[in-house]
Amino acid sequence: MEFKAPARYGTLIIGFFFALHVNGQAVNTDTVVQRENAIRVFIDCFYCDMDFIREEIPYVNYVRDVKEAQVYILETRENTGSGGRKYTYAFVGQMEYEGKSDTLVYASRPDDSRDYTRIWRTQMLKMGLMPYVARTPLYDEVIINPTESIVKQEVVDRWNNWVFELDAEPNFEGEESYNELELRSSVSAVKITHDWKLELDFDHRFSRTKYTYDDTLYTNDKSYQGLDVLVVKSLGDHWSAGLRTDVVSSTYTNTKFSVDFMPSVEYNIFPYSRSTHRQFRILYGVGNSYNVYNDTTIFNKTEENLWLQQLQLAYQVQEKWGSINVALEGSNYFHDFSKNRLELSGYISIRILKGLSVRLRGGAARINDQLSLVKGELTEADILLQLQELETSYGVGGEIGVTYTFGSIYNNIVNPRFGNGRRRYY
């Protein structure tokens, strides 16, 4: 079966369906249904807001291995003739649901906001999952809104919520008088529950550049190793406390060894339960940084122990009219308050009127805390190949985009012949 959702606000039939559709509310308070009995789902989607999906569809279990899923969902997208997108959802039953499959289609307008599109994409998932959910013990627990027991209940698995990822990426390019070898690898371990957030990330990067000039072969190396550890404890619906530790070695920043400890507290003006729609977080931390340098710095230091503080304000909102993501961060060292840094970054997308939208992205930084700069003159290779950090008092960058679309209101047709004339990678 193929179902086409309305490109705009829907028809009366679909509106009636959504009025009855499921978000999950218990109707039998005498029965406790374990979420372990919920259907296991694997969503194959490259650009999906999984936090929003999990929040809106709490009556299934999300698995990371497609072989463990009872339902496999594949989302594909194509550009439509008027600049919108056609989203196709293939629901494939596995195990005891083998042979039970379906396909749903949703077409968006080019001027639909991200939030509006996100809501309707999630609605497609809800509708497609209902035939499977109806065959689980949770069928009589799911009507309109998610029950507290289903939303908050956690599934116990043998990995105890830990997720591990290994990544390796060797790259090579070359020509007659120049070649470069770059090696990248990373290891991460993450555990996220309602009460705790634990993240460990290790990154390693090494590059070797060789070039020939005036019959002389030059070889330059650049390396980075970094371990980032984050531990956060939830303290209610507005407060949290955490500790971030960074261990770094970098030839670029003249750092032989550096370790930072930054205990912090965070207050979110809006409840964390609404984080997929709106956030205003205020984070403050005080910590210590111990540094050993590869070479003597401009302040005649080969090692030093420093105390510093950091304040961050972050505002995020995603609504039908558009989205805003802005962050302001300031920090300074206690031994010399003139050694400080102030950074502002953000992304704003606003739909002005039908067919017209404006996008702004950028950032600026006032930099006065480059304590690890190498003393003395840098070589030409250091500057051209960016092997060493350069002294600067500021950094700035940004972009602006304006889009106006007009013409036919119908955009359900897809014609992929000769490729897509307008390419979008987001």
Q: Would you state the pLDDT for residue 1?
A: 45
Span between the terminal Cα atoms of the chain, in Å: 28
Q: Which of 45, 60, 51, 122 is nearest to 97 (CA)?
A: 60
When comparing pLDDT for 359 and 111, which is higher?
Answer: 359
Structure-block tokens of residue 200: 């460990």
Contacts (Cβ under 8 Å, ≥6 apart) of 92: 71, 72, 73, 74, 101
d(CA 147, CA 34): 12
pLDDT for 368 beyond 70: yes
Q: What are the phi and psi torsion angles at 144 (to 5°)?
A: -125, -60
Summarised one tens digit per residue, pLDDT across range 184-197 is: 999 999 888 888 89
Cβ contacts of 315 within 8 Å, gap of 6 or more: 279, 280, 281, 324, 325, 326, 327
Please report the pLDDT score of residue 81 as a whole number: 59
On the question of pLDDT at 255 being above 90, the answer is yes
For residue range 283-328, list pLDDT tens digits in order: 999 999 999 999 999 999 999 999 999 999 999 987 767 889 999 9
- Summarised one tens digit per residue, pLDDT across range 349-358 is 887 877 788 9
Is 376 a residue whose pLDDT tops 90? Answer: no
Share of the chain above pLDDT 90, in %: 40
Q: Do residues 122 and 18 make contact, with C-beta atoms less than 8 angstroms apart?
A: no
Q: pLDDT tens-digit profile of 4-48?
A: 444 443 433 333 333 334 444 443 444 445 677 888 898 888 788
Report the residue count for the chain.
426
What are the φ/ψ torsions at residue 247 (nearest 5 degrees)? -120, 120
| Residue 288 and residue 305 in contact, taking contact as beta carbons nearer than 8 Å | yes
Determine the pLDDT at residue 37.
80
What six digits make up the tokens of 394? 């500021």
Per-residue pLDDT, 426: 35
| Lowest pLDDT segment from 78-82, 107-111, 220-224 | 78-82
Average pLDDT over residues 267-282: 87
Quick one: tokens of 107? 């077409």
pLDDT of residue 348: 92
Q: What is the CA radius of gyration of the chain?
A: 26
> What would the mean pLDDT of 372-399 be, rounded to a whole number?
85
Closest CA to 353 of 121, 80, 117, 113: 113
Closest among 113, 148, 387 to 277, alpha carbons compared: 113
| pLDDT for 135 | 85
| 206-220, 255-269, 333-347: the lowest-pLDDT one | 206-220
Average pLDDT over residues 362-391: 86
* pLDDT per position as a tens digit, 148-183: 665 566 666 678 878 888 999 999 998 888 898 999
Spatial strand order in the sheet of 255-268: 162-175, 178-192, 196-213, 216-235, 239-250, 255-268, 278-293, 303-319, 322-333, 336-353, 356-367, 394-404
3-state secondary structure 360-388: EEEEEEEECCCCCCECCCCCHHHHHCCCC
Choice between 58 and 260, residue whose per-residue pLDDT is larger:
260
Question: How high is the pLDDT of residue 163?
Answer: 83
Place of tokens 């092997």: 387
pLDDT band at 125 (very low <50, low <70, confident <90, very high): very high
Q: Which domains does the chain have, with CATH numbers?
A: 2-152 (3.40.50), 162-392 (2.40.160)
DSSP single-letter state for residue 318:
E
Give me the residues paired with residue 169 across strands. Answer: 184
Max mean pLDDT among 86-90, 142-146, 154-158, 324-328 falls in 324-328
